[in-house]
């Protein structure tokens, strides 16, 4: 997920400080910080996974390195020479590996696609080219091949000041951005959404197949069906769609997933920024306030009434869902699967439970919001793809409640159960799902520190929850076992479901890592002391588990002011004597966020997405001023004077071939 400037800023861009939304949870539900503190205070914090932070308060970690280095080196699941952390205008990968740019913003995707011309952009051209700000990356094999398949990529949002020439001027030493024209808005709208593209490995290098028969772009103008309990409900009907079953477009597609039956799911996250206007008096006021709508960061409402809530007050209820795409049919209509709930979705990673039902883990990426999972009613049939195609329309959405004793309960979000009744303003399951956040509030879910990617691990039966940070945690929530007010660096929670059953409604939780610089005792980081000065990280965001069951973590928010290093991809040991040891494998250029990551089925390629490179130049001392189209802090990845900075997907392979990090 990418954090954005507030609407009154000159640029719509990412920031190191947190401004991902209004933090609109009004409840007094307990925060994860309070629960961590209570749990480890009661247990005796020296006995838990926070022991390192407690020791670090009195003993320098350097005093422990000699013994732990030997212990961790023997037990680590990763074998590669660590990359050096730092900041510059290029990408870097660990020694012995190649990192090749596979797809850049504007690259042609079809045989008839025009070549990218940044000075003559049009919506028509962008519809045939790779979109902007690539986030989630997935791979769907063709004929079971690890070297020939479909790459599916989300395009989360746009940075017009980096995209369009002539948009920014310097007035009295400050950068000012002009309003966008309708033509520029049209390009933005078409640069959103997703890409499905055939790729093939040839002589050890990946190539795009431009005439792939399944290649497709999905944009904010693509027709998408509403399906499941909300379809046809009065609260999703508009003047353009009085049936309440057909939505135009999908926006802010952050992380996502690939289902066991080979479809592509796109998560709609920060939908609040796309809507402007003043809502008429009525039922939706509290609903929209809980999601921060309208923010008006985008200028789309100036040209399209559907983004003006004064003119189309129900339109926001048609966004904030999980979108499923049948990649095998490029003419198919994608579906917004409303049974999976409406909130600021960060991903939808799935796994098949013991009884054949399919479990999806879902984060709501905002300060003090919640962790969810969805369990299908029907069972996955590996021998009949067609039988699986509507599994996501029927199931039970749950929200997590974490307890002091290390247990977690998954609370069903079902109309008529507990407080989810007419007395609290719900008339049906459709109402509950449209207002998923409020339903979770009433159930007493645990307020988390920006839940982002959540990854189940089939190899060890565990689930990893990335919690990026939370600058709003108060000082009165701090004690020796939870020593950070304003959780700047985030942490990772590990869940073990009861009986090893991912569909279970109860489980246990543990803190795998508290992030940040472990050499600073006050930070309270809990990396193994074998973790080097290059190996620690902050702001965990996306993650991946490779086929060997190893955890890889990507970050969002590091930089000159926050950590003195760019974002990147770290290998994190989760088992054995090396547990909580982390090593840097790849890092992005200045201003970029590390998205993806994804490992090919044979673990011989790691695909990563480099998003918004060159942003926030004023934060980098070597550049020291705002970065925009005519004056960029980097021209990655082309490094040509006539080319702007371009978000891109990178394919990482081992020199000479072979699996990564073995």
Q: pLDDT by residue (tens digit) across 163-201?
A: 999 999 988 878 899 999 999 999 999 999 999 999 999
In degrees, to the nearest 5, what angle opens at C-alpha 483 toward C-alphas 465 and 572? Answer: 35
* 457 within domain boundaries: yes
**Interval 527-540 mean pLDDT:** 96
Q: 27: pLDDT confidence band, cut at 50, 70 and 90?
A: confident
**In-domain check, residue 43:** yes
| Count of all residues that appear for the chain in the document | 662
**Where are the extended beta strands (E) located within 600-644?**
605-611
In this model, does residue 36 exceed pLDDT 90? no
Tell me whether residue 661 is in a domain: no
pLDDT in tens, 409-426: 999 999 999 999 999 999
Q: Please tell me the distance from the alpha carbon of residue 532 to that of residue 345, in angstroms, as a whole number.
A: 34
Q: Is pLDDT of 268 > 80?
A: yes
pLDDT at 3 over 60: no
- What rounded mean pLDDT belongs to the chain? 91
Pairing of strands 491-497, 506-514: antiparallel
For the segment 296-339, what is each residue's pLDDT rounded down to a tens digit? 999 999 999 999 999 999 999 999 999 999 999 999 999 999 99
Average of per-residue pLDDT across 248-272: 98
Q: Is the pLDDT of residue 352 over 90?
A: yes
Confidence tier at 473 by pLDDT (50, 70, 90) = low
> Which residue in 625, 640, 641 sits closest to 591, CA to CA?
625
Q: What is the CA radius of gyration of the chain?
A: 23
Q: Is residue 483 over pLDDT 90?
A: no
Q: Which residues 6+ apart lie within 8 Å of 27 measured at CB? A: 441, 447
Euclidean distance between CA atoms 558 and 537, whole angstroms: 8
Least confident of 229-243, 353-367, 517-531: 517-531
424 falls within a domain: yes
Contact, 372 vs 363, CB < 8 A?
yes
3-state per-residue secondary structure call for 247-260 = EECCCCEEEEEECC
- Report pLDDT for 282: 80
526 close to 508: Cβ distance less than 8 angstroms: no
The pLDDT assigned to 485 comes to: 63
Cβ atoms of 559 and 545 within 8 Å: the answer is no
Q: How many domains are contained in the chain? A: 1
Q: What is the pLDDT of residue 476?
A: 64
Q: Name the more confident of 57 and 356.
A: 356
For residue 477, name the pLDDT band (cuts at 50, 70, 90).
low
For the segment 564-570, the average pLDDT, to the nearest whole number, is 97
pLDDT for residue 54 is more than 90: no
**Per the domain annotation, does 24 fall within a domain?**
no
User: Over the stretch 62-86, which tens digit does the pLDDT of each residue have?
Assistant: 434 434 454 455 789 999 999 999 9
Classify residue 342: in a domain, yes or no.
yes
Please report the pLDDT score of residue 65 as a whole number.
45
Query: What pLDDT shows up at residue 479?
Result: 29
Who's near 551: CB < 8 A, 6+ residues apart? 455, 457, 464, 543, 544, 545, 571, 572, 573, 574
Q: Look at residue 612 and tell me whether its pLDDT is greater than 80.
A: yes
Instruction: Answer with the residue of higher pLDDT: 36 or 109.
Output: 109
Confidence of residue 2 (pLDDT cuts 50, 70, 90): low
Domain that holds residue 145: 32-654
Give the number of C-alpha atoms closer than 13 A to the C-alpha of residue 573, restricted to the C-beta side.
26
What is the phi-psi region of residue 411: left when phi exceeds 0, alpha when psi lies from -120 to 50, beta otherwise? beta
pLDDT of residue 134: 98
The widest CA-to-CA distance across the chain, in whole angstroms, is: 69
Q: Is the pLDDT of residue 592 over 70?
A: yes
pLDDT at 23: 66
Q: Does the pLDDT of residue 661 top 70, yes or no?
A: yes
Tell me what pLDDT residue 25 has.
83
Give the per-residue pLDDT at 12: 62
Q: Is 136 domain-assigned?
A: yes
Please tell me whether residue 649 adopts helix, strand or coil conformation.
strand
Compare 404 and 395 and report the one with higher pLDDT: 395
- 6, part of any domain: no
pLDDT of residue 73: 58
Tens of pLDDT, residues 123-168: 999 999 999 999 999 999 999 999 999 999 999 999 999 999 999 9
CB 109 within 8 A of CB 195: yes
- Residue 580 phi/psi, 5-degree rounding, is 75, 15
Judged against a pLDDT cut of 70, whether residue 107 lies above it is answered with: yes
Q: What is the pLDDT of residue 75?
A: 87
We report the CATH number of the domain holding residue 51 as 2.120.10.30
Q: What is the mean predicted confidence (pLDDT) over 498-505?
A: 98
For residues 460-475, average pLDDT: 87
């Amino acid at each position: 997920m990418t954090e954005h400037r507030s609407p009154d800023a000159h640029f719509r861009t990412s920031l190191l400080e947190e401004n991902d939304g209004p933090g609109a949870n009004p409840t007094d539900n307990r925060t994860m910080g309070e629960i961590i503190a209570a749990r480890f205070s009661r247990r005796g914090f020296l006995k838990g996974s926070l022991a390192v932070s407690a020791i670090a308060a009195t003993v320098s970690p350097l005093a422990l390195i000699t013994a732990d280095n030997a212990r961790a080196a023997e037990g680590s699941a990763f074998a590669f020479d660590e990359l050096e952390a730092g900041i510059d205008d290029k990408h870097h990968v660990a020694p012995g590996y190649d990192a090749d740019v596979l797809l850049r913003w504007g690259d042609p995707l079809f045989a008839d696609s025009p070549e990218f011309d940044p000075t003559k952009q049009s919506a028509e051209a962008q519809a045939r080219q790779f979109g902007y700000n690539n986030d989630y990356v997935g791979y769907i094999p063709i004929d079971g091949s690890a070297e020939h398949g479909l790459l599916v990529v989300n395009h989360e949002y746009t940075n017009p000041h980096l995209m369009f020439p002539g948009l920014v001027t310097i007035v009295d030493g400050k950068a000012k951005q002009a309003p966008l024209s309708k033509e520029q808005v049209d390009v933005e709208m078409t640069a959103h959404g997703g890409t499905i593209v055939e790729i093939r490995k040839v002589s050890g290098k990946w190539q795009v197949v431009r005439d792939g028969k399944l290649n497709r772009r999905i944009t904010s103008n693509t027709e998408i069906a509403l399906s499941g309990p909300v379809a046809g409900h009065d609260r999703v009907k508009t003047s353009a769609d009085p049936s309440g079953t057909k939505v135009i477009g999908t926006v802010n597609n952050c992380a996502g997933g690939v289902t066991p039956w080979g479809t592509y799911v796109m998560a709609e996250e920060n939908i609040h920024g796309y809507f402007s206007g003043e809502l008429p008096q009525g039922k939706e006021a509290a609903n929209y306030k809980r999601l921060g709508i309208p923010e008006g960061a985008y200028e789309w409402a100036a040209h399209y009434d559907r983004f003006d809530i004064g003119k189309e007050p129900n339109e926001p209820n048609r966004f904030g869902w999980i979108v499923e795409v049948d990649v095998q049919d490029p003419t198919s209509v994608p579906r917004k699967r409303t049974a999976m709930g409406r909130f600021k979705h960060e991903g939808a990673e799935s796994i098949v439970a013991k009884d054949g039902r399919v479990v999806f883990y879902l984060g709501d990426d905002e300060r003090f919001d919640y962790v969810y999972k969805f369990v299908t009613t029907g069972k996955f049939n590996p021998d009949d793809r067609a039988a699986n195609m509507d599994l996501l329309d029927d199931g039970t959405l749950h929200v997590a409640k974490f307890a002091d004793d290390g247990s977690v309960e998954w609370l069903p979000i079902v109309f008529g159960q507990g407080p989810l009744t007419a007395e609290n303003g719900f008339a049906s399951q459709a109402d509950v799902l449209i207002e998923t956040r409020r339903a979770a509030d009433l159930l007493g879910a645990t307020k988390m520190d920006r839940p982002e990617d959540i990854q189940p691990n089939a190899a060890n039966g565990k689930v990893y929850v990335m919690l990026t940070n939370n600058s709003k945690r108060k000082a009165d929530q701090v004690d020796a076992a939870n020593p950070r007010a304003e959780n700047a660096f985030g942490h990772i929670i590990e869940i073990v479901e009861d009986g090893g059953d991912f569909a279970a409604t109860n489980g246990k939780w543990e803190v795998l890592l508290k992030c940040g610089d472990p050499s600073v005792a006050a930070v309270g980081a809990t990396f193994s002391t074998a973790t080097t000065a290059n190996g620690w990280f902050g702001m965990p965001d996306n993650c991946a588990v490779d086929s060997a069951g190893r955890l890889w973590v990507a970050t969002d928010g590091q930089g000159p002011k926050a950590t003195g290093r760019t974002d990147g991809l770290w290998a994190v040991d989760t088992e054995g004597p090396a547990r909580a040891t982390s090593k840097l494998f790849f890092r992005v250029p200045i201003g970029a966020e590390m998205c993806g990551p994804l490992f090919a089925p044979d673990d011989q390629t790691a695909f990563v997405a480099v998003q918004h490179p060159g942003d926030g130049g004023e934060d980098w001392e070597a550049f020291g001023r705002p970065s925009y189209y005519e004056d960029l802090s980097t021209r990655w990845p082309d490094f040509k004077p006539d080319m702007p900075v371009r978000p891109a997907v990178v394919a990482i392979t081992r020199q000479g071939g072979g699996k990564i990090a073995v």
